[in-house]
């Protein structure tokens, strides 16, 4: 009975909430500035939670298989993650670059050093039947005369939880390019006043490619881990289109000899 009552009460509360916001929408043109400001604050808080639910639901329901996330985990994997841009739709879904630093979603930022460059970054739903992720990200590069072009991906705090020097961090990527180019991946981990950096070149083969970062070569202070991010650095990307079909990270301990 308690379960049925709970379901009934939840539905009743939902109907009342919807009725409240329907009424608020009708009355909004008549409210004064103070009331509008309070209503806007409440609406933004509600929209944040709704957007999170829609992002998760749209992403998972777009996957071609039941259950799981499609991330290929190495043996002994104890952490895996796919960024939001490849997990589900974000709003806005893209931009034409108007400055040398611009973000898409809450985790990915485009950096470059050519103020007059023609660049566009866009997320779209991947409709291929063999897709590994619900969404993909396209970087269109037109006239670019700078020396730096990179996508910076902020990594979640969960990566740092339990991170040790005996871990390897795997960055996996599936990409399509119009013309051959080089992509370098740099892992950055801030620990106290210092930042450990490791860089690898991503082999852009057909299908999924990956690079491993061995933290054994980094002088990490495991007790002072603060943040981590990845730079995807593109060389000779002028007049090219890079489609990142999937991107994920996984963590696993190094095999002891």
Domain residue spans of the chain? 2-61, 79-253
Which pLDDT band, with edges at 50, 70 and 90, does 178 fall under? very high
Mean pLDDT of 137-151: 95
**Alpha carbon of 49 to those of 115, 125, 147, 239: distances in Å?**
36, 22, 40, 39
Q: Do 234 and 178 contact (CB within 8 A), yes or no?
A: no
Gap between the Cα atoms of 151 and 215, Å rounded: 22
- Characterise 70 by phi-psi region: left (phi > 0), alpha (psi -120 to 50), beta (else): left
Mean pLDDT of 49-70: 61
Q: What is the pLDDT of residue 16?
A: 78
Q: What is the pLDDT of residue 212?
A: 96
Q: Residues 211-241: pLDDT tens digits?
A: 999 999 888 999 999 999 999 999 989 999 9
Average pLDDT, the chain: 87
Choice between 63 and 149, residue whose per-residue pLDDT is larger: 149
Q: Kindly give, in sequence order, each residue whose CB lies less than 8 Å from that of residue 112, ignoring residues fewer than 6 positions away.
A: 97, 100, 119, 144, 146, 148, 149, 150
Pair of tokens at residue 7: 């379901």
Supply the angle between the helices 2-27 and 33-61 in degrees, to the nearest 10. Answer: 130
Q: Percent of the chain having pLDDT more than 70?
A: 86
- Cα 15 to chain center, whole Å? 33
If you write DSSP's letter for every residue of 64-84 in order, what string do you get? SSSSS--PPPPTT--EEE--H
State the DSSP code for 252: E
Which pLDDT band, with edges at 50, 70 and 90, does 1 fall under? very low
What's the CATH architecture for 79-253?
A: Sandwich (2.60)
Single pTM value for the model: 0.76
Q: Percent of the chain having pLDDT more than 90?
A: 61
Q: What is the pLDDT of residue 3?
A: 47
Which pLDDT band, with edges at 50, 70 and 90, does 62 fall under? low
Q: What is the pLDDT of residue 111?
A: 97
Question: CA torsion 102→180→244→163, rounded to 10°?
Answer: -80
């Amino acid at each position: 009975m308690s379960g049925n009552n709970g379901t009934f009460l939840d539905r009743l509360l939902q109907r009342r909430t919807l009725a409240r916001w329907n009424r608020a929408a009708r009355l909004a043109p008549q409210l004064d500035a103070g009331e509008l400001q309070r209503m806007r604050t409440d609406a933004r808080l509600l929209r944040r939670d709704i957007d999170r639910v829609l992002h998760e639901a749209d992403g998972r329901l777009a996957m071609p298989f039941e259950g799981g996330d499609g991330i290929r985990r190495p043996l002994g994997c104890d952490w895996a993650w796919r960024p939001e841009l490849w997990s589900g739709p974000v709003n806005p879904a893209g931009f034409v670059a108007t400055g040398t630093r611009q973000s898409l979603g809450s985790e990915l930022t485009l950096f470059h050093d050519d103020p007059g460059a023609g660049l566009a970054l866009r997320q779209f739903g991947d409709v291929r039947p063999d897709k590994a992720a619900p969404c993909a990200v396209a970087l269109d590069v037109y006239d670019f005369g700078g020396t730096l072009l990179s996508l910076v991906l902020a990594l979640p705090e969960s990566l740092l939880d339990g991170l040790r020097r005996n871990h390897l961090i795997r960055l996996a990527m599936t990409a399509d390019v119009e013309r051959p180019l080089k992509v370098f991946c740099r892992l950055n981990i801030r620990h106290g006043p210092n930042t450990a950096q490791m860089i690898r070149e991503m082999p852009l083969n057909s299908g999924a490619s990956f690079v491993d970062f061995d933290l054994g070569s980094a002088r990490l202070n495991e007790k002072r881990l603060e943040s981590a991010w990845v730079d995807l650095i593109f060389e000779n990307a002028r007049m090219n289109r890079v489609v990142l079909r999937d991107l994920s990270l996984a963590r696993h301990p190094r095999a002891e000899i």
